[in-house]
Structure 1
Amino acid sequence: MKMMVEHHKGAVSMADTEKSKGSYKPAKDMAQDITKSQTAEIKEMDKLLGK
């Protein structure tokens, strides 16, 4: 689970880069969805880990 949290954090980081530096709207929109969903999953996994 801890490895999945780190994996998701990496995805959020990449999505944040796309949102700030990208120019292709569909990719930026997808990056926003990734940030939202992965952040929610990180929170849920942290709860399961007792954080």
Structure 2
Amino acid sequence: MDRFYGALLVLGAALPFIYDPARQAFLPARHRWEWQIICWGNAAEDWLGK
């Protein structure tokens, strides 16, 4: 089960680099680090139980 959640976390961390919801397109533009850091922060909060 830990392997499943690990894969899910990796996929979630990579998703902003793979898919851009604003453009509804894959391979988004550069400078998306702010969004990436927000995603990582939310995932860490969920994992730590806030």
Fold agreement, TM-score > 0.5: no
The TM-score with structure 1 as length reference comes to 0.43
Which has the bigger relative contact order, CA under 8 A and spacing at least 6?
Answer: 1
More strand by share: 2
Point out the structure with the larger helix share.
1
Taking structure 2 as the reference length, the TM-score comes to 0.43
